[in-house]
Amino acid sequence: MIPALPPTPIAMVGREAIHAALHPQAGKSLYFVAKGDGSHFFSDTLQQHNEAVRRYQLKRVEQYRSSPAN
């Protein structure tokens, strides 16, 4: 072991992630974008995805601009 490092791999996936990869939910969604609140928006088409990216990027920019300066 190396001091100051965790005893397990830093990027080790959990059981839930492995299970989800092996047994994905049925659906048409091929794309996703992070909504900025810890959740995601899923889209079936590239056009829907691009619209969602624009929407959530604009929302993030608006929130960033409205944040008080430190």
Higher pLDDT pick, 57 / 15: 15
Say what the pTM is. Answer: 0.56
pLDDT the model gives residue 53: 94
Q: What is the pLDDT of residues 17-62, one digit of tens each?
A: 999 999 998 999 999 999 888 899 999 999 999 999 999 988 777 7
In the chain, domain spans: 15-66
For 46, the enclosing helix (H) or strand (E) is: helix 46-66
SS3 content of the chain, % helix, strand, coil (to 5): 40, 10, 45
